[in-house]
Amino acid sequence: MKALRASSGDLNADRRADFAEMLLASGEPAQAAELLLGALDLVPRWAAGWFRLGEMQEAAGLLDQAARAWAMALKLEPADRLGAALKLELIGKAPAAAAPPSAFVETLFDHYADSFEDSLVRKLGYGLPDFLGRAIRKARPGRFRLALDLGCGTGLMGERLRPFVDRLEGYDISAAMLRKAKAKGIYDLLAKADLQHFSHPGAGADLVVAADVFIYLGALERIVGVVANMLAEDGVFAFSLETLAEGGDFALLPSRRYAHSEAYARRVLLANGLAVLSLEGMVIRHDRRDPVEGLAIVAGLPAASTEVRNPAAA
């Protein structure tokens, strides 16, 4: 994903920042950081500049300096659109958080909306919507009266759901993503929503889907509880996770996405009265040509089905 660039509002500072980027691209991060620090002398309240300075200092191995730069970015912009708190956490300078800043997720996908499908599907080999769609049909054949597509993005998952859903609702934190989804004409309702605070007061949903969404959420207890309460009696909940390689429940990765363990997902589902109907391992996408391993999980009421498990995911 391309870096988010923002003007400082000062032409001379912007020129120095551009030259710093050239130095960074040529493999000289320490010199780049020094030049950008000079630009910040001209615009000391430029939060995006401080954030980028931290990235350059991190690339140069200057982690204490990077931490100070990210702390300054966070002080200047507490909403944290650029995710400075996550960078501090990754280098051990801030405690682990249960979720990323909502403003960071919103800004990320507003920025990414125009290139989202081309980058994800064509360049990164993203096959999750097809895979998860097949898992849903296998777990519960037939039509669904009401389906909710959480973190719907541009509608990639919604396109797979529409053929077997009577009413399809999509929710996303990014207004730019929602505009892309609306243009496809596949949703009966689209609404802006932050899944960290999501609720759905309407009739029980037969299907709730969160495809490649929980990687930007962290702790799952609240959202799984909300979903369990909104499901109809025979409802199905389908979602994906990036697989956490080491022990623990979930962890923030250098990509600033979260990975979750299978044991944690099962425990949270069980605590909310949901049983795993199917669980399959898969490659969700590629990142710098490396496969990103994940899980596609379909859950429902314990009596709804017997679990189908892909041995490869064991």
Q: What is the CATH number of the domain that holds 208?
A: 3.40.50.150
pTM of the model: 0.89
| Co-location of 88 and 123 in the same domain | no
Amino acid making up residue 178: L
> 42-56, 110-124, 264-278, 282-296 — which is least confidently predicted?
110-124
Is 151 in the same domain as 216? Answer: yes
Residues 64 and 146 in one domain: no
Place of tokens 């709804």: 304
Q: Which two tokens stand for residue 191?
A: 């609404």
Lowest mean pLDDT among 25-39, 166-180, 199-213: 199-213
Residues 202 and 240 in one domain: yes
- One domain for residues 262 and 161: yes
Is 284 found in the same domain as 163?
A: yes
**Residue 249 domain-assigned?**
yes
Residue 8's pLDDT is 83
Residue 185 shares a structural domain with residue 282: yes
**Residue 6 forms part of a structural domain:** no
How many Cα atoms occupy the beta-carbon half-sphere of 193 within 13 Å?
19
* pLDDT above 80 for 226: yes
272 in the same domain as 150: yes
| Residue 26 within a domain | yes
Residue 313 has pLDDT above 80, yes or no: no
Half-sphere exposure of 98 (CA within 13 A, CB side): 6
280 in a structural domain: yes
Q: Tens of pLDDT along 126-175?
A: 889 999 999 999 999 999 999 999 999 999 999 999 999 999 999 999 99
Spatial separation of the C-alpha atoms in residues 117 and 177, rounded to whole Å: 10
Residue 288 has pLDDT above 80, yes or no: no
7 touches 17 (CB < 8 A): no
At residue 41 the predicted structure's pLDDT band, cuts being 50, 70 and 90, is very high
For the chain, give the percent of residues with pLDDT over 90: 80
From 95, 122, 140, give the residue that closes a domain. Answer: 95
The mean pLDDT of 231-246, rounded to a whole number, is 93
Residue 2 lies in a domain: no
What is the mean predicted confidence (pLDDT) over 1-23?
82
Per the model's pLDDT, the better-predicted residue between 287 and 252 turns out to be: 252
Mark whether 130 and 208 lie in a shared domain.
Answer: yes
Averaged confidence pLDDT in the chain? 91
144 and 86 co-located in one domain? no
| Residues 138, 283: Cα–Cα separation, whole Å | 19
Q: Which CATH number covers residue 89?
A: 1.25.40.10
In degrees rounded to 5, what are phi and psi of residue 228?
-60, -35
pLDDT of 108 higher than 60: yes
Note down the domain range covering 237: 114-313
Task: Say how far apart CA 232 and CA 205 lie, in whole Å.
Answer: 5
* Confidence band for 185, pLDDT divided at 50, 70 and 90: very high
What pLDDT, on a 0 to 100 scale, did the predictor assign at position 15?
Answer: 93
Residue 108 forms part of a structural domain: no
